[in-house]
A and B are shown apart, each in its own frame.
Chain A
Amino acid sequence: MPGHQAAIKLSSVVFLCASLAAGASEEFFESRIRPLLSRHCYTCHTALASGGLRLDSRAAILKGGSRGPAVVPGNPEESLLIRAVRYQDERIKMPPVKKLEDGEIADLIRWVQDGAVWGAETAPGPDEIAAKAASFWSFQPPVEPPLPRRVPREWARNPVDRFIFARLREKGLKPAPLADKRTLIRRATYDLTGLPPTPEEVDAFLRDSSPRAFEKVVDRLLASPRYGERWGRRWLDLVRYADSAGDSADYPIPQARLYRDYVIASFNRDKPYDQFLREQIAGDLLPWRDEEDRWENIVATGYLAIARRFSVRPERNMHLTIEDTIDNLGKVVLGLSIACARCHDHKYDPISAKEYYALYGIFASTRYPFAGSENDQYQKDLVYRLPQEKVDEVLKPYREQLAAIDAEIARLEEERKALGQAGTNGTPGGRTAQDITADIRRASKRRAAVIASMPPLETAFAVTEGKPQNVRVQLRGDPRTLGEEVPRGFLRVLNGGPLPPECTGSGRLELAQWLTSRDNPLTARVMVNRIWQHHFGRGLVATPNDFGKRGSPPTHPELLDYLALRFQREGWSVKAMHRLIMLSRTYRLAATAAPGNAEKDPNNEFLSRFSRRRLEAEEIRDSLLSFSGALELGAPGPHPFPPPSSWNFTQHKPFTAVYDGNYRSVYLMTQRIQKHPYLALFDGPDPNLSTPVRSATTTPLQALFLMNSQFVHEQTERFAARLLETGAEPARLVDRAHRIVLGRPAAQDELRKAAAYLDQAGRKLASAGFSQQDRQRLALASYLRALVAGNEFLFVD
């Protein structure tokens, strides 16, 4: 390791939003001049105003400092700034450390020559924030909209439908007919559980002619434990869940799964969404009923704890981990890119850099756990399940041993250092540096042995309160150049402000309350939009992580408000939202487009039909496992990580592993440093960034997986064997297979095709020397492979 690790440089994360709709000059300023000023001048010439000069606005530059205006637009020769950077004048050579590159000086000259055009002004004052807030839809409180009137009876059954129908009428779009019952139950089952309906479930639904038949299906699915696995995964996508830390050696976090299971259980229990958020941000500070409840609240803060770690010394790069926390929190809970305000005031949304650091202070006052890293290869600061007194009592003897060994190591290191400085070959006692190093190694071994012998107390990868502190603004997001101190608090545009004076903690509890306050116009809107998005493939706001100015405006603003208010009124119940949406007529429409609609609404933004979708990675894998009967339900317990006492991962030999199994894909071990190869192939979530929308690419490598992978061959062969076990005749087997895979019986032409296919395949296998029994199984497996590679299985109508 080098002795001169540079602090992580930040220029690459300046959240300037490039390619503005502006003239070339402004673009030139943004791409060439602003970064240059920022890099070379802003340490002294912003808030510090060295020499009375600020260089962070056009007005300030024209006003200049003690020596007069810094720039005369159109006249580089007369501009002090240019003289200073050219080192023309002995008294002002800027920047003082090192002359700018020739190209940079040329850029500055050209900029002054062309009139010193400035980009969008930053630094919005409080009034400006209020004005922006007042003028932008998402910062307005939701208003109960009147239900659209003059809606046909069949469209007026559910309030959702009234809003949808009114827009369809307005746009001249003709709604599709209702989907048939087989299509509907397959759609609903994949939607809520990520698994296919069984043939028996399909048959029961077809037989049920009561008007409440579909409602019963929805209720059954919502009550299934598979529901939480499906919708919990969506939350895990958002919070970029992983089972490793993301530092250079990607240390495993065996306890992360507790948070994963907490998320799944919370969805299954329909935990009120506001409570779900409060627990994840400040669970450790909330009141609790019993021990079980207390532990669950602690585990919930795993959300904050799993923020990404950086470099070989994560503890020295906590500014990046906090950045990752705020970025994720902003996008996921509020649909706001708050992190844009890390280096400068947000250019589009009313969020100032100061407010970013007001939030930053809250997390700087929070103690994050530590997963281990190249330099400290063991976990620390995790939260014990036992109360602290009990923990202290149990661990006291071990801690004493460790303290003694640590003291010994420190003494030996001192001794070795002293030896090095003295430049002699040995101590007075005749010991060489090598001897001392050997002693240190022995002591470290003893240390590891003590750690390995400690009783395995249950821990969570969770946060606790740290030392409450305000932080100073980091100019340009650089923790080495600090501006003024900012009191901790929450965004003004969302009715926030500084923490109340009586707050003595980090402020996380207050933050959790602010986020879930009914006065906050975003939290409920953002969540109902996500629920909507996952039923229809597209949110009412198509950019679910961005409700700011750069995001898409809602297609149905009144419906969004209606849902948001109803969500709050109904106790933030996610399941109630599913029921409302799924029992609408809109959800039950067929996926076929009426003639003429495609031209008017090519992306089906107004929902004149259902949007067909490809199954997601987990749905494909889980379905194949269920067809073969291999799928194991429930949570698999701990991942088979190597024991912590053996951890010696470094950037050179990072932790990498792929653990497969037959549990649902949500339980696959997920690393930050590498995607699971299967999930990567089928557009799985990004374990480093919030994934609000899964893309659905089509690649030949996916086709190759379906044709040639060991997994698909194993599952289809098991599936074939399972069907053959019933002893039924081939036509019945094929029909059963179609019912299992597609939710419908095989058609006549398919049965004919299947008979011919199995016969021909059997002959091919016979000529390849396979036994009668193998031939039957392999021919059927071959048929099934084609069935599961087909579009009818891979897409949901």
Chain B
Amino acid sequence: MNESTCSCTRRHAVRSLVGGSMLLPGILAELLAAAEADPLAPKPPHFSPRAKRVIFLFMTGGASHVDTFDPKPKLIADHGKTYRNGRYLIRPHFQFKRYGKSGIEVSELFPHVGECVDDICVIRSMKNDHGDHFEATLGIHTGSVTFTRPSIGSWISYGLGTENRNLPSFVVLAPHLPYAGGQVWSSDFLPACHQGVRIVPGPEPIPHMTPRTPSSELQEMELGLIEFFNRRHLAGRESDAALAARIKSFEVAFGMQKEAPEAFDLSQESDATLEMYGLERGSTQGFAWQCLVARRLAERGVRFIELIDSGASNNWDAHGDIATHIPLARNVDKPIAALLKDLKQRGMLEETLVVWTTEFGRTPFNEKPDAKGREHHARAYSSWLAGGGVKGGIVYGESDEYGIEVASNQMHIHDFHATILHLLGLDHTRLTYRHAGRDFRLTDVAGRVVHEILA
């Protein structure tokens, strides 16, 4: 390799070596035109999309609906009365307040998100299929509460590919492992390139991203040598797209190595931005870091960005005392509101669907009249959507007067998924993958697109 190329950027150096016209004229480009060689190449959706990408905010452990987004005056009125089977109704532990022009009520746990409520479609009729964490967490991610299936992010990566090959198509910002671990972002039977890449805040957010060679020049030399070996090997094997794809993958990897650290480098963000998210300069802690990184990944074309706020413990699972919701809400409230405002300011909210959800809600009743905690409740709970072609400032669906059952317009997890896919221009009945003799879907054999909430 010529020393003079080192004066260019690394990316240029490798591009000129590997992908450009200097070597293998025409062959690579031609081979790579075949979609088969690059399963992550952008694919047209089934119909014109409203959103290009998703930011999926997942609250682990089961956030109480009647204490966050589903006010229940009757539950306050009937507090302490027996409900059924010797259980007692328990009043919400937090005050609700009307926000925005829409006047939608949000509890004091989420004052900042409340300020954004006119951009939000609150869903108060969510339904999951299981009342345990492990199963319900898989349910909201994969549609299946029993057998392993691909995650929604994998399905969307499979359906649409990615706009930026220098970053993974499906990124999961998860400081801790959630219930069901890596199954939550598994591509399962879909090709492995669609699995979520978990990012753990720290010096090397994406595994193997940092060069280990004693000098960067040595790594460039190695890449040049790989190219030399591959070019020699390709002679007489030009028709094999898999070989070409692998040659290309080193170029992309090199691009990633350069671009990914930059995506995670918040040093160029202004003080005002950091302040808005509530992030101390230099910190990689908390949901504020996750939200700001999410915006940067969204800007760079990542298709599906999931943020998991906590792990399989110390989370929203407030059996003992609902007051444990307070620090958890404080961790996420301001950053989420900042994310919404930031996306809006940058004109990105229209094409970015922001999803806030959890695996289930919590029981509006308990076994003792003075219980401070709440149990698991998958029969009715709350979530919300914002941006990406969703009507803001509306409420969809309702739970009954106590928040126990869905009273109208149920949003089953399959309906939720069908609607998210629809917003991305994907027909959930047509996004299928043949596996073991059957065409599988994210929505199994169910799911209804909820047109009522589309803008």
Contacts and interface: CB of A to CB of B under 8 A. Distances in A.
Does B bind A?
yes
Nearest to A783: B225
Contacts of B419: none
A791 B363 CA distance: 57
B48 interface: no
A761 B218 contact: yes
A710 B212 CA distance: 8
Nearest to A546: B437
Contacts of B232: 749-750, 792
Given A654-B312, A698-B246, A764-B217, A103 B448 contact: yes
Contacts of A681: 192
A708 B211 CA distance: 5
Contacts of A709: 207-208, 212
A701 B197 contact: yes
B219 interface: yes
Given A3-B375, A791-B234, A701 B218 contact: no
A654 B180 CA distance: 8
Contact of B256 (A592, A704, A765): A704
Contact of B436 (A310, A546, A656, A713): A546
B148 interface: yes
A696 B242 contact: yes
B446 A545 contact: no
Contacts of B421: none
Interface string B435-455: 011110100111010000000
21 contacts: A6-B378, A8-B130, A8-B146, A11-B446, A12-B446, A31-B445, A310-B135, A320-B146, A331-B436, A612-B240, A674-B182, A686-B188, A698-B245, A699-B249, A701-B168, A701-B197, A703-B246, A753-B225, A757-B221, A786-B226, A795-B243
Nearest to B248: A698
A631 B147 CA distance: 36
Contacts of A792: 229-230, 232-233
B275 to A, nearest CB: 34
Given A673-B180, A703-B249, A248 B134 contact: yes
Given A697-B39, A703-B250, A757-B221, A550 B134 contact: no
B181 interface: yes
Given A686-B148, A786-B222, A702 B249 contact: yes
A690 to B, nearest CB: 8
Contacts of A700: 165-166, 249-250, 252-253, 255-256
Nearest to A687: B148
A62 interface: no
A197 interface: no
A8 B134 CA distance: 12
B41 to A, nearest CB: 12
B177 interface: yes
Given A13-B144, A320-B146, A337 B438 contact: yes
Contacts of B312: 651-654
Contact of B230 (A15, A697, A785, A791): A791
A30 B221 contact: no
Nearest to A9: B129
Interface residues of B, number: 98
Given A101-B409, A673-B180, A705-B208, 16 more contacts: A3-B367, A6-B130, A6-B131, A12-B144, A19-B432, A103-B448, A340-B437, A612-B242, A673-B182, A698-B249, A704-B256, A709-B208, A757-B221, A764-B214, A764-B215, A790-B229
Contact of B246 (A677, A683, A701, A791): A791
Contacts of A147: none
B261 to A, nearest CB: 12
Nearest to A681: B192
A4 B219 CA distance: 58
Given A701-B207, A707-B208, A14 B444 contact: yes
A790 B139 CA distance: 41
Contacts of B192: 680-681, 683, 695, 697, 699
A688 interface: yes
By Cβ-Cβ distance, the 9 closest A-B pairs, closest first, are: A703-B253, A790-B229, A248-B134, A786-B225, A550-B437, A2-B375, A546-B437, A700-B253, A700-B252
Contact of A790 (B181, B217, B226, B257): B226
A35 interface: yes
Nearest to B440: A18
Contacts of A612: 237, 240, 242-243
Interface of B: 37, 39-40, 129-135, 139, 143-148, 165-166, 168, 177, 179-183, 186, 188-189, 191-193, 195, 197, 206-215, 217-219, 221-223, 225-226, 228-230, 232-234, 236-237, 239-240, 242-243, 245-247, 249-250, 252-253, 255-257, 312-313, 317, 319, 363, 367, 375-376, 378, 409-410, 414, 429-430, 432, 436-439, 441, 444-446, 448
B214 A778 contact: yes
Contacts of A614: 242, 246
Nearest to B445: A16
A709 B213 CA distance: 10
B418 to A, nearest CB: 11
A525 B280 CA distance: 65
Contact of B445 (A14, A551, A698): A14
Contacts of A654: 177, 179, 181, 312
A17 interface: yes
Nearest to B37: A698
Nearest to A308: B147
A410 interface: no
B37 to A, nearest CB: 8
Contacts of A30: 445
A92 interface: no
Given A337-B436, A546-B437, A35 B237 contact: no
A387 B436 CA distance: 42
Interface string A642-684: 0000000001111010000000000000000111010011010
B148 to A, nearest CB: 4
Contacts of A785: 222
A653 B219 contact: no
B208 A312 contact: no
Interface string A732-768: 0000000000000000011001000100110011001
A794 interface: yes
Contacts of A598: 239
Q: Give the interface centre of A9, A331, A696, A698 by most chain B CB atoms within 10 Å.
A: A698
Contact of A12 (B145, B165, B430): B145
A548 B363 CA distance: 46
Contact of B148 (A3, A19, A688): A688
Contact of B208 (A12, A591, A701): A701
Contacts of A34: 445
Contacts of A324: 147
A31 B429 contact: yes
A651 B240 contact: no
Contacts of A701: 168, 197, 206-208, 253
Nearest to B410: A101
A612 B147 CA distance: 34
A195 B261 CA distance: 36
Contacts of B133: 248, 651-652
Contact of A312 (B132, B246, B257): B132
Give the interface centre of B189, B210, B243, B437 by most chain A CB atoms within 10 Å: B437
Contacts of B129: 8-9, 11-12
A652 B130 CA distance: 17
Given A248-B179, A337-B437, A19 B429 contact: yes
A696 B241 CA distance: 12
A285 interface: no
B212 A713 contact: yes
B242 to A, nearest CB: 7
A168 interface: no
A13 B208 contact: no
B189 A689 contact: yes
Interface string A363-375: 0000000000000
